[in-house]
Structure 1
Amino acid sequence: MPGVLAMLALFGTSFAGFGLLPELRSGAHERLLAAPVNRVALLLGRVMRDITVLLCQATVILLLVLPFGLRVSPAGAVAGLLVLLVMGIGLGTLSYMLAMSVKQEFLFPAILQTTTMPLILLSGILLPMDLAPTWLYALSRANPLSHVVDAERALFAGDFGDPSVYIGSGVAVAVAVVALGLGTRLMRRLAA
């Protein structure tokens, strides 16, 4: 279940930039940038909408699988969802930045598929990376999503003291902070 929720967060937020592409093509986004609105608020508003959708979807999935025998620590599930939401903020921001940078509807999916497939395969979403050969496991450690997935598994098991919880949470926060910093700079540069 933690892997499914991590995949939901990855796909739900990284493909969010698709919604911005028609606005970029029609000029609606440029008109918003000319409005007397904080540029960062324009970006954060979109990202928070996507995070709200992610939270609703993840909650529905969790509630649907509970009757089928999922045993999860309630506090761990809440903490796991928080880590996913933080990671989703970073991924959603990066998606919008990519959309604003490429502005081409035929380039956007190609770039996303090129990046998301290796992220999925090297994250341990499908199978724990502990089962992989040593070289593949070492490669997976460079993938930020693999640390978040490890943290999710530990949190859902209720093991708050597991080192992967701290590492995964730190990675999620780092991705969000870096993405928001870069996104803020991009929005201010576009508005100038």
Structure 2
Amino acid sequence: MKQKWRVYDIRTKIYTFTVRTVDSQLAKYFSDVLKNHYTQKMKGLTVENRIIPQKMISEIFSLSPVITKSNEGYWRSHMSLDEYENRLFSNAVKKYNYFTGEQIEENFPLYTRLQFLNRHPIVCRYKNISLLGDKLNLQIATDEKSQELAYFILGTGLGELNSRGSGFCSFRWI
């Protein structure tokens, strides 16, 4: 019987992967697959699942750039700020409606203040092109719908291309 030996390079770097999701089955899948998974370049050691408690959120802020794709390019060259805000909001509502199967109305304010955290657009490489995005800070409104949608955004991301890591958000509680 031939035995294979795995050799690990001493210079191997340690990484922490954070996966946020609203789908508990997906979280379970990652937990099962990544624990003790190894390849030539990586070895999964442990997996920690943590559920963010649903408390009143005062603000959410993006840790990775929020991307909005269009044929015209970066949003500031062809959209007003109101159009950009409407697109962010409607995108979040569409994701929420699709995942929950509900149809919530779009007649409530998600946030009371929007702040851009960058001076210039942030470049993100995607399929041999450069997409431009922004880091945002949103002061969340205190009504129930806004709080529920903000909590949902923490699991799905803000804007588009969330599966590629764009729009990953963190939060502060009240």
* Structure with greater proportional strand content: 2
**TM-score, normalised to structure 2's length?**
0.27
| TM-score with structure 1 setting the length | 0.26
Q: Higher helix fraction: Structure 1 or Structure 2?
A: 1
Name which one, 1 or 2, has greater alpha-carbon Rg: 2
